[in-house]
């Protein structure tokens, strides 16, 4: 099943996400059970990751490399991660999270120009799309 999620960056942008139960069903259920969720974010290269969330799930089909526009959950930091491009530790042509992550979906909006306006600790809200 596909779940449509909205991520609000106040006064900057709204992003649409699609989560797919086939990727990591336990992780997605735990995340959906926490929504709506307001949390601080941080930027690392072209990855946005949240502060610790109330989502508590272990590794589920965890990956050390992800694809462009993946949405994932990092069990190590209990964080939701959005991958718009390379991270500082990836080799050329790869996107490497800090630690293995459970990929749960995709970012549906490809424009990443807004990243330059994001500041660490900015508060964002994840909510189910109606």
The Cα 77–Cα 15 span in angstroms is: 22
**Confidence class of residue 39 from pLDDT cuts 50, 70 and 90?**
very high
- What letter does residue 99 receive in the DSSP assignment? S
User: What per-residue confidence (pLDDT) applies to 30?
Assistant: 98
Cα–Cα distance list, 8 to 34, 44, 70, 123 (Å): 16, 19, 17, 9
The fraction of the chain above a pLDDT of 70, given in percent, is 100
Give the H or E element holding residue 31.
helix 25-32
- Of 1.20.58.60, 3.40.50.280, 2.40.100.20, 2.60.40.1930, the CATH number of 2-128 is 2.40.100.20
- What letter does residue 3 receive in the DSSP assignment? E
Summary mean pLDDT of the chain: 95
Domain boundaries, the chain: 2-128
pLDDT higher at 130 or 8: 8
User: What per-residue confidence (pLDDT) applies to 102?
Assistant: 98
Q: What is the pLDDT of residues 40-88, one digit of tens each?
A: 999 999 999 999 999 999 999 999 999 999 999 999 999 999 999 999 9
Nearest to 6 by CA among 112, 97, 105, 101: 105
**Confidence class of residue 33 from pLDDT cuts 50, 70 and 90?**
very high
The fraction of the chain above a pLDDT of 90, given in percent, is 88
In our burial notation (b when 16+ CB lie closer than 10 A, e otherwise), range 117-127 reads eeeeebebebe
């Amino acid at each position: 099943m596909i779940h449509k999620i909205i991520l609000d960056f106040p006064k900057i942008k709204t992003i649409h996400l699609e989560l797919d139960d086939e990727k990591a069903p336990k992780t997605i259920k735990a995340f959906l059970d926490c929504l709506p969720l307001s949390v601080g974010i941080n930027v690392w290269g072209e990855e946005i990751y949240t502060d610790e969330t109330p989502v508590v799930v272990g590794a589920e089909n965890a990956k050390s490399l992800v694809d462009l526009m993946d949405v994932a959950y990092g069990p190590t930091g209990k964080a939701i991660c959005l991958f718009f491009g390379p991270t500082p530790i990836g080799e050329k042509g790869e996107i490497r999270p800090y630690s293995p992550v459970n990929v749960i979906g995709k970012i549906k909006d490809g424009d990443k120009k807004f990243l330059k306006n994001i500041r660490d600790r900015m508060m964002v809200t994840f909510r189910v799309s109606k």
